[in-house]
Amino acid sequence: MIRLIASDIDGTLVRDYQPMNPEIFSLIREFYARGVRFTAASGRQHPNLRKLFAPVQNEIDYICENGCLIYLKGELVHRETMDYDLGQDMIATIMGTPGAEALVSGEETCYIQPKDPLYENHVRSVVGNDAIVVEDIRKQVEPYSKISAWMKDGVTDQTIKYWQGLFGEDATVVYAGHGWVDMMPKGVHKGTAIRWIMENGGLTKEEVMAFGDNYNDEEMLNSVEYSYAMEKAPQEIRDFTFGTCSDVTKVLKETLRKMDRGESL
């Protein structure tokens, strides 16, 4: 029986920073009434996700910053932090790279030092982050969780290989969509976060369903029995998942029907 549902956001529940399909909120409440919790699993920050899920923000849990922060029942229960010197090196490299902007993720906000004034608007108005503009982003305000590079001209396979070549031995480096490259402490990703929740909640992989669309969802999808890749996900992701879908809500509706009829998934 399913006891936990986890879903990626961008490219899975939300397309190109569009509003959330409001139908998801009623589905979350229906699962909650049956004892099934919902976890938003994203590279986004906690305040951003709470705004996105406003109607049910106090009824769900959160995996934020691609696995660096875990919030359960409104409480921060787990946090991963980056080595200080490594973080300093990342920030300096991003700031010195033409066409790249840095974003340093804290617990409840992010820090930016825009090279292009339009970057601040992108972070606040397009991405939807709470952000603090600082004069020198290399002056640490709080422990580093995730450090990101936003590439103004977009991210290609070559771009990812470049950043992985620089920092991949010491950090987890992933494509996070919409021009973003995310760098987390080594070995930290959505998979480590969902497994932490499962282990601490006494859940088996057969009791968890998850949805994702890209490589930064791979470990999470690999950690559960009922994994679904979006139809547009890379073939390598679709190859190992339990199923594929074009619309998460359709799978959730069918799952509810099967649960109510006592059928297996």
Tell me the CATH number at 200: 3.40.50.1000
User: Residue 102 has what pLDDT?
Assistant: 98
* Better-scored residue on pLDDT, 263 or 61: 61
As a residue count, the chain comes to 265
Same domain, 170 and 200: no
161, two tokens: 């290989």
Same domain, 71 and 93: no
Same domain, 177 and 89: yes
Domain of residue 124: give its range: 84-185
Extended beta strands in 57-157, E state: 61-64, 69-72, 75-79, 100-105, 110-112, 131-133, 147-151
Residue 114 neighbours by CB distance under 10 Å: 16
Average pLDDT (37-43) is: 97
Quick check: 203 and 222 in contact, CB under 8 A? no
175, two tokens: 């494509």
User: Residue 123 has what pLDDT?
Assistant: 96
Condensed to tens digits (0 to 9), the pLDDT of residues 234-246 reads 999 999 999 999 9
List, in order, residues 6 or more apart from 200 with CB less than 8 Å away: 77
Same domain, 138 and 175: yes
Condensed to tens digits (0 to 9), the pLDDT of residues 154-176 reads 999 999 999 999 999 999 999 98
Assign residue 172 the CATH number of its domain. 3.30.1240.10
Same domain, 99 and 223: no
Q: State which of 148, 166, 185 marks the end of a domain.
A: 185
Same domain, 113 and 241: no
The answer on pLDDT for 205 being more than 80 is yes
User: Residue 264 has what pLDDT?
Assistant: 83
User: Residue 265 has what pLDDT?
Assistant: 82
Residue 196 neighbours by CB distance under 10 Å: 17
Same domain, 26 and 67: yes
User: Residue 161 has what pLDDT?
Assistant: 95
Instruction: Output the DSSP codes for 12-38.
Output: TTBSTTPPPPTHHHHHHHHHHHTT-EE
Same domain, 146 and 62: no
Beta bridge mates, 151 = 100
Measured CA to CA, the distance from residue 122 to residue 137 in angstroms comes to: 17
Q: How many domains is the chain partitioned into structurally?
A: 2
Mean pLDDT of the chain: 95
Same domain, 100 and 165: yes
CA of 94: how far to CAs of 6, 152, 162, in Å? 31, 12, 12
Q: State which of 150, 185, 220 marks the end of a domain.
A: 185
User: Residue 239 has what pLDDT?
Assistant: 95
133, two tokens: 């503009």
User: Residue 118 has what pLDDT?
Assistant: 95
Average pLDDT (51-76) is: 96
Q: How confident is the model at residue 60 (pLDDT cuts 50, 70, 90)?
A: very high
The answer on pLDDT for 16 being more than 80 is no
User: Residue 143 has what pLDDT?
Assistant: 93
Measured CA to CA, the distance from residue 55 to residue 119 in angstroms comes to: 29
User: Residue 64 has what pLDDT?
Assistant: 97
pTM here is: 0.94
Q: State which of 154, 185, 216 marks the end of a domain.
A: 185
Condensed to tens digits (0 to 9), the pLDDT of residues 117-151 reads 999 999 999 999 999 999 999 998 899 999 999 99
Same domain, 192 and 221: yes
Q: What phi and psi, each to the nearest 5 degrees, are found at residue 204?
A: -95, 165
